[in-house]
Structure 1
Amino acid sequence: MNPAVHDPPRPGRAAPLPPDERRRAILRAVAPVILERGISATTRELAEAAGVAEGTLFRVFDDKATLMRAAVFAALDPAAAVPDIEAIDGSLPLRERLVRLATIGFSRVDEMMRWMGLLHEVSRALPERAEAEAERGRREWAYNQEAGTAAVTAAVVDLLAPDAASFRLPLLRVADMFDVVLVGSAMQRSAPAVRGRPRPHRDPEELVDLLLHGVLADTTSPDPRHLAPERTS
């Protein structure tokens, strides 16, 4: 039984978690089951994964559909990557830090793609919510995505901060560019799999070198704008 989520204890045992914390613990615990089984996961399987009785699930969530939607939304929260980013050793050289960041990013995008597929599956198969509830869910989704993205960006900026003087651009712009290159590369890697073809290899080191040095063989100039053709009158 998962000690972080278990049912209310008998006298002499630790007190149960506060409601919000228990809810988050349940969502974390059931995520692997939902990712593997999709909507075919049974209430019993979800309860066993969370280490609680089935009745406990329904004291926290209204029904299975509500639980599954909440689990998918929680898994798609960008902020879920922040602890892994913050765990990168800030004393490592810049390139090594970025390689580790890219490795985390590739893994996260692959996982997000799987969860997005599940989101569509859940949306199609589970009962529709009332319009007011659906609208509330959309607003909450938009807010969480924006807040989660901001949290990831802040974590990346903190990771880059020791080398701020080495960049030509503000750290926020560097973080944004890294995100664009990483997500684009990860999506390109995922596209062949959708068509039943093998995924091309994506090297985090290659991505980092592209970001830091560009694609030109000669990188002796700190400002690539000299490569633009001169205007003629």
Structure 2
Amino acid sequence: MTTSSPAPAGRAAPLPPQERRTAILHAVRGLVLARGAAVTTRELAQAAGVSEGTLFRVFDDKAALVRETVHAALDPTEAVPLLDAIDRGLPLDERLARVLEIGFERVGETMRWVAVLHELGRGDPGFEHSVQARREVHAQWVRRQEEGQAAVRFAVTRVLEPDAAQFARPLHQVVQLLDVVLVGAAMQQADAARRGTTAEVPEIDVLVTHFLHGALAPSPLRRQS
């Protein structure tokens, strides 16, 4: 009976092309975020644990690898497992706080990755001046973002579903309004960072309380009505 020979010691078994592509994108993510468009192919190959030749058998060039790394990192669906991991047995305000925490983390990461993408565009004039290339990349980007954002909304809906009967509005509207709160607070913080000032963004518990109970303080008159 014959058996296949094991892979030589110290060398991983070859991966199928798509798995190798995904593994490389994951392996170089931290390096690309730290170095941006200035990262070298040698650094990328070392981070991925492959030769430079292997990189270019998988990706057209360094710019393509960096760009795909950014696009993969910006995929909204990366938040879905984190949202699904929220304990449905927690009180509603604690679940909402965790949703906002995850959202703020994702917004912050997104801004850093978009900066890398802009840096890459400035250093790749051929790509920037190719109208067709820009349109194709943008179309793919929009499609992936729309699909990913829909998946995130469904995940948030699942988090809030145990308390659906307590909300004054349909659950899909509650999720939309929660997104308004998240994006508004995150943009306020980002704008202050660009201006070099400190944003007075409310703490997450304040945002949760305001979202659930509104801006009006309880009063005897309203309790009687």
**If the TM-score is normalised by the length of the shorter chain, which range does it land in?**
0.7 to 0.9
- State the partner residue of 1:126: 124
- More helix per residue: 2
The 1:36/1:14 distance shift into structure 2, 3 A limit, reads closer
Contact 2:87 2:95 in 1 (8 A): yes
The normalised TM-score by structure 1 is 0.84
SS of structure 1 residue aligned to 2:218:
coil
Report deviation, 1:11.
Answer: 5.2
Residue matched to 2:169 = 169
**TM-aligned CA deviation for residue 42 of structure 1:** 1.0
Q: 2:7 aligns with which of 7, 10, 13?
A: 10
Q: From 33, 36, 40, give the equivalent of 2:34.
A: 36
Bigger mean CA offset, 154-163 vs 118-127: 118-127
Match of 1:229?
none
Q: 2:108 aligned with 1:110, yes or no? A: yes
Specify the alignment match of 1:76 in structure 2.
74
Q: CA RMSD in A?
A: 2.2
Change (3 A) 1:168 1:32: same
Contact 1:65 1:127 in 2 (8 A): no
Structure 2 residue aligned with 1:26: 24
1:61 aligns with 2:83: no
Match of 1:91 in 2: 89
Aligned residue identity for 2:190:
S
CA distance in 2, matches of 1:211, 1:94: 12
Specify the alignment match of 2:205 in structure 1. Answer: 205
> In 1, distance between residues paired with 2:143 and 2:167?
31
How many residues were matched structurally?
Answer: 215
After TM superposition, give the deviation of residue 156 of structure 1 in Å. 0.4
Provide the residue aligned with 2:3 in structure 1.
none
Report if aligned partners of 2:29, 2:73 keep a CA contact under 8 Å in 1: yes
- Deviation, 1:17, is 3.0
Question: What SS does the corresponding residue of 2:190 show, helix, strand or coil?
Answer: helix
SS of match in other structure, 1:90: coil
Q: Percent identity?
A: 53
- The amino acid across from 1:22 in the alignment is R
Unaligned runs of 5+ in 1: 1-8, 227-233
Q: 1:15 to 1:132 in 2, by over 3 A?
A: same
8 Å CA contact 2:88–2:95 kept in 1: the answer is yes
CA distance in 1, matches of 2:189, 2:172: 26
Q: 2: CA distance between counterparts of 1:218 and 1:199?
A: 28
Sort the Cα spacing of 1:128 and 1:83 in 2 relative to 1 into closer, same or farther, 3 A: farther
Amino acid in the other structure paired with 2:198: P
- Summarize deviations over 1:60-98 as a string: whole Å, max 9, x none: 111001001111111122112111111111221111111
Q: Distance in 1 between matches of 2:142 and 2:57?
A: 26
SS of 1:128's equivalent? helix
Amino acid across the alignment from 2:76: P
Q: Flag structure 2 segments of 5+ consecutive residues without an equivalent.
A: 1-5
Residue 182 of structure 1: CA displacement? 0.5
Q: Which residue matches 2:136?
A: 136
Q: CA deviation at 1:127?
A: 4.3
